[in-house]
Amino acid sequence: MMIKQNESKLKAHKAMWVVFSRGKLLIQAQSQRIPVAYFNEIPFLHRYAEEVHQLPPLNDGATLENPVFVVDLGAEHVEQPGWERVPLRQLLVTEQDIAFSVIGRAWQYIHFLRTHQYCGQCGAKTERVEWEMAVQCHRCQHRSYPRVSPCIIVSIHDNKRLLLAKGVRHREANMYSTLAGFVESGESLEEAVHREVFEEVGVRVKNLRYFHSQPWPFPHSLMVGFIAEYDSGTIQCQENEIDDAQWFDVDALPNTPPSVSIAGQLIAETVSLIRDK
């Protein structure tokens, strides 16, 4: 649900402003923070007052001091002195407290609205439902909700070693990470783990243990984390997906993802499991 705000209500509150311009966020230059300000303090906002929606807080017990307002400038390019556009991923690292519950969620909503302007069933224009996060077709009544795509992510260990892989997309960063992949229709999470691991690196795993999950807004994944033990097979990298995969000793790990990501957390958890043995 996102609630449209009238202008007088907008001006009354100091708010957190999540402003998207194409795939990036508009923030004050050098701040690395989502701006918290009054409506009138952000110079370009008056042109978009009609486009402002409030993001309701998640029911997760955490309370934010200020309401969160979301604005989508779409493809418009705002040139405002003192302001800059930064990638979403960058702010997820600098704003860890609100990374997924505010920034990631706001982006998933905006992405949903951008990609559901027309009904998937009859092609008519959709309209926003104001009391829940959905769009509805007024010709055939088909209603759509933001998509969530489950993805498994798994850390594999064998005695004192971890199996980590470098995806073709991470070749330049020279970063080794856990294996991950989308769950297919009709598949359980566990089946997805066994299939992905075998497809990507050619080994079999056993004794899966659930770790935890993390929403990942690129654009609407839900990463479901597992720790698995090696069972059998030798590493064989999947062409076009995996650049390299190796067993690494816990005391000689390569460059791995940051701890804001579930991949980084899975690796840290597996390392401490191995060390506690």
For Zn ion, which residue of 140, 173, 222, 268 counts as binding (CB under 5 A)? 140
Assess 143 for contact with Zn ion (CB under 5 A). no
For Zn ion, which residue of 11, 13, 142, 160 counts as binding (CB under 5 A)? 142
Assess 11 for contact with Zn ion (CB under 5 A). no
For Zn ion, which residue of 12, 29, 62, 122 counts as binding (CB under 5 A)? 122
Is 150 within 8 Å of 160 (Cβ atoms)? no
Assess 117 for contact with Zn ion (CB under 5 A). no
Q: Nearer Cβ to Zn ion, position 40 or 121?
A: 121
Determine the 3-state secondary structure of 134 from DSSP.
strand
Q: In sequence order, what are the beta bridge partners of 247?
A: 163
CA dihedral of 169, 193, 207, 216, whole degrees rounded to 10: 60
Q: Nearer Cβ to Zn ion, position 11 or 142?
A: 142
Q: Nearer Cβ to Zn ion, position 53 or 116?
A: 116
* CA distances in angstroms from 4 to 38, 55, 128, 130, 146, listed in the order given: 17, 9, 10, 7, 18
Query: Taken in order 18, 22, 27, 32, is the CA torsion positive or negative?
Result: positive
- Least Å distance, CB 64 to Zn ion, is 36
Residues 6 or more apart in contact with residue 77 via CB below 8 angstroms: 21, 22
Q: Nearer Cβ to Zn ion, position 139 or 171?
A: 139
Q: Where are the alpha helices (DSSP H) in 64-188?
A: 88-94, 105-115
For Zn ion, which residue of 137, 179, 192, 262 counts as binding (CB under 5 A)? 137
- Stretches 4-12, 39-47, 111-119, 231-239: which one binds Zn ion (CB under 5 A)? 111-119
Determine the size of the site formed for Zn ion (CB under 5 A): 8
Residues forming the site for Zn ion (CB under 5 A):
119, 121-122, 124, 137, 139-140, 142
